[in-house]
């Protein structure tokens, strides 16, 4: 474990509260940057816990110290031991995983970590309900939350037995998203024929990655919806919704433009799946509107801060801060109004998507620019905290300081 100090105490960061319980933010990309900014602006001393020199939070003015630890996916035990040692070097604090691999490692050793820290994630039993998408699908079916039809063949023979019953195109999706993304650099694969299905399933199976074959929910990218909520003792205390506008790559990629707005149709099923899973604290539930019947179908549940995490604070609901205040000070979150029509934009991904659509004639020239012309927040750029944006820009223009893992920046 190596440590880069930006200061020796909370007071090293402007506005930090001396003696405040530190936050250990695991993961230094978009989701982590959102948490660091929210807590740092509120005076919480923030220690950025990273595994790669590419992670942006190390450059934030709100970071009191940056600690490099072993990769939680490849060296889980070493990762957890490094987190335990943080209590000796920086004091007991709040551990906030912002990636699936970090969450999986922390959840699996939650009791051990909780002896020295406050842990802001579910225990292993609950975590597996949303980390393993097969379990998510089973729970949704049991409680009547609409979701795509999903099967999980465990062998080539089981796959062949399913082929004649499948409707193409369909999706080959991982049971654990981050492992698949690290291997192939994408969230999932769309297949149109039995040959493509066998190839996509087979390449994952050869690496020991469990996949599912899932019904394709037809509809545009704008049919994607996020339901964000904070749960205490089984009750949703605060929630909000937003719509996806563009994805990178298109159709089945990660969001690069999102807008806040009320989508009441997903509130009831969102609350139902969180209750059935036993989720506490923050969660993000993703839905997709089916253009065949207009109904919203459950896509996945995430039990950690999401990629567009800067949007909610800009709208008036600061999920990272209310999480910290609840866990540290016992303050119960209360429902609050939030702004609609606020955009979140990934400034490193969205412009190329827009340019491609203009060139391809799928958008009129300068169409789709509303996120840049209205109330907005960027994934990385912040005039109050320019360091991460400058670092990302230099990385893109110059040689990489280290090879990026496939999917390392995915939330």
pLDDT confidence of residue 11: 42
Residues of the chain with CATH 3.30.1490.20: 149-215
Percent share of the chain, pLDDT over 90: 82
pLDDT classification of 175: cutoffs 50, 70, 90: confident
pLDDT classification of 410: cutoffs 50, 70, 90: very low
Strand intervals (E) in 233-361: 235-248, 254-260, 281-289, 296-302, 343-345
- Domain covering 221-397, topology: D-amino Acid Aminotransferase; Chain A, domain 1 (3.30.470)
pLDDT confidence of residue 323: 98
**Residue 393: pLDDT above 50?**
yes
pLDDT confidence of residue 185: 86
pLDDT classification of 404: cutoffs 50, 70, 90: very low
Among the ranges given (27-31, 90-94, 179-183, 350-354), the one the predictor scored with the smallest mean pLDDT:
179-183
**Residue 408: pLDDT above 80?**
no
For residue 389, CA distances in Å to 3, 67, 267, 366, 392 come to 22, 20, 34, 25, 5
For the CA atoms of 34, 36, 38, 43, the dihedral, rounded to the nearest 10 degrees, stands at -170
Residues of the chain with CATH 3.30.470.20: 221-397
Joined tokens for residue 5:
């100090």
pLDDT confidence of residue 13: 56
pLDDT confidence of residue 39: 98
- Give the span between the Cα atoms of 168 and 194, in whole angstroms: 8
pLDDT confidence of residue 166: 85
- Domain 149-215, CATH number (from 1.10.357.10, 3.40.5.10, 3.40.50.300, 3.30.1490.20): 3.30.1490.20
**Which of the pair, 331 or 402, is modelled with greater confidence?**
331
Among the ranges given (36-50, 51-65, 107-121, 174-188), the one the predictor scored with the smallest mean pLDDT:
174-188
**Quick one: which of 104, 109, 57, 50 has its CA closest to 84?**
109
pLDDT confidence of residue 37: 98
- Give the span between the Cα atoms of 74 and 99, in whole angstroms: 14
Q: What is the pLDDT of residues 332-386, one digit of tens each?
A: 999 999 999 999 999 999 999 999 999 999 999 989 999 999 999 999 999 999 9
pLDDT confidence of residue 218: 94
Q: What is the pLDDT of residues 187-211, one digit of tens each?
A: 889 999 999 999 999 999 999 999 9
| Pairing label, strands 94-97, 118-119 | parallel
Tell me the Ramachandran region of residue 180: left when phi exceeds 0, alpha when psi lies from -120 to 50, beta otherwise. alpha
pLDDT classification of 409: cutoffs 50, 70, 90: very low
pLDDT confidence of residue 162: 87
Give 348: exposed, middle or buried? Use CB within 10 Å, 0-12, 13-18, 19+. Answer: buried
**Quick one: which of 22, 28, 132 has its CA closest to 405?**
28
- Give the span between the Cα atoms of 217 and 297, in whole angstroms: 8
- Give the span between the Cα atoms of 17 and 253, in whole angstroms: 39
Q: What is the pLDDT of residues 55-64, one digit of tens each?
A: 999 999 999 9
pLDDT confidence of residue 14: 53
- Give the span between the Cα atoms of 269 and 10, in whole angstroms: 41
pLDDT confidence of residue 403: 38
pLDDT confidence of residue 407: 35
The CB-side HSE value for 266 (13 A sphere, CA atoms) comes to 30
pLDDT confidence of residue 19: 75
pLDDT confidence of residue 36: 98
Joined tokens for residue 248:
């990178």
**Residue 283: pLDDT above 50?**
yes
**Percent of the chain as helix, strand, coil, to the nearest 5:** 35, 20, 40
In whole numbers, what is the pLDDT of the chain averaged over residues?
A: 92
Rg (CA), the chain: 21
pLDDT classification of 313: cutoffs 50, 70, 90: very high
pTM greater than 0.95: no
Q: What class does CATH assign to 2-121?
A: alpha beta
Joined tokens for residue 229:
């909520």
**Residue 10: pLDDT above 90?**
no
Q: What is the pLDDT of residues 82-117, one digit of tens each?
A: 999 999 999 999 999 999 999 999 999 999 999 999
| Pairing label, strands 211-215, 170-174 | antiparallel
**Residue 401: pLDDT above 90?**
no
């Amino acid at each position: 474990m190596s440590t880069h100090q930006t200061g020796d105490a909370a007071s090293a960061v402007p506005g930090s509260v001396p003696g405040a319980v530190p936050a250990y933010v695991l993961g230094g990309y978009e989701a982590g940057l959102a948490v660091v900014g929210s807590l740092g602006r509120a005076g919480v001393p923030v220690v950025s816990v990273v595994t790669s020199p590419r992670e942006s939070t190390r450059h934030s003015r709100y970071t009191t110290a940056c600690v490099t630890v072993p990769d939680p996916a490849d060296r889980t035990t070493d990762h957890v031991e490094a987190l335990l040692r943080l209590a000796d070097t920086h004091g007991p604090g709040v551990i906030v995983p912002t990636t699936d691999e970090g969450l999986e490692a922390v959840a699996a050793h939650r009791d051990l970590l909780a002896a020295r820290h406050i842990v802001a994630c579910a225990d292993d039993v609950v975590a597996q309900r949303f980390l393993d998408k097969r379990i998510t699908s089973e729970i949704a079916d049991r409680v009547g939350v609409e979701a795509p039809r999903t099967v999980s063949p465990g062998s080539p023979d089981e796959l062949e037995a399913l082929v004649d019953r499948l409707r193409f195109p369909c999706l080959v999706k991982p049971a654990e998203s981050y492992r698949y993304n690290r291997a192939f650099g994408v969230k999932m694969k769309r297949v149109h024929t039995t040959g493509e299905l066998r190839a996509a399933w087979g390449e994952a199976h050869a690496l020991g990655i469990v996949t599912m074959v899932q019904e394709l929910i037809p509809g545009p990218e704008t049919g994607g919806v996020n339901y964000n909520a904070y749960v205490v003792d089984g009750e949703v205390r605060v929630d909000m919704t937003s719509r996806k506008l563009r994805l990178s790559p298109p159709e089945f990629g990660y969001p690069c433009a999102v807008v806040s707005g009320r989508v009441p149709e997903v509130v009831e099923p969102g609350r139902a799946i969180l209750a059935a899973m036993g989720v506490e604290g923050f969660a993000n539930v993703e839905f997709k509107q089916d253009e065949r019947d207009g109904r919203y179908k459950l896509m996945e549940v995430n039990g950690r801060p999401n990629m567009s995490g800067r949007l909610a604070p800009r709208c008036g609901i600061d999920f990272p801060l209310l999480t910290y205040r609840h866990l540290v000070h016992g303050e119960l979150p209360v429902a609050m109004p939030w702004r609609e029509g606020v955009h979140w934009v990934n400034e490193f991904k969205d412009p190329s998507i827009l340019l491609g659509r203009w060139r391809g004639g799928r958008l009129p020239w300068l169409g789709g620019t509303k996120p840049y012309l209205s109330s907005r927040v960027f994934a990385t750029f912040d005039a109050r905290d320019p360091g991460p944006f400058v670092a990302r820009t230099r990385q893109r223009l110059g040689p990489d300081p280290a090879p990026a893992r496939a999917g390392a920046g995915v939330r």
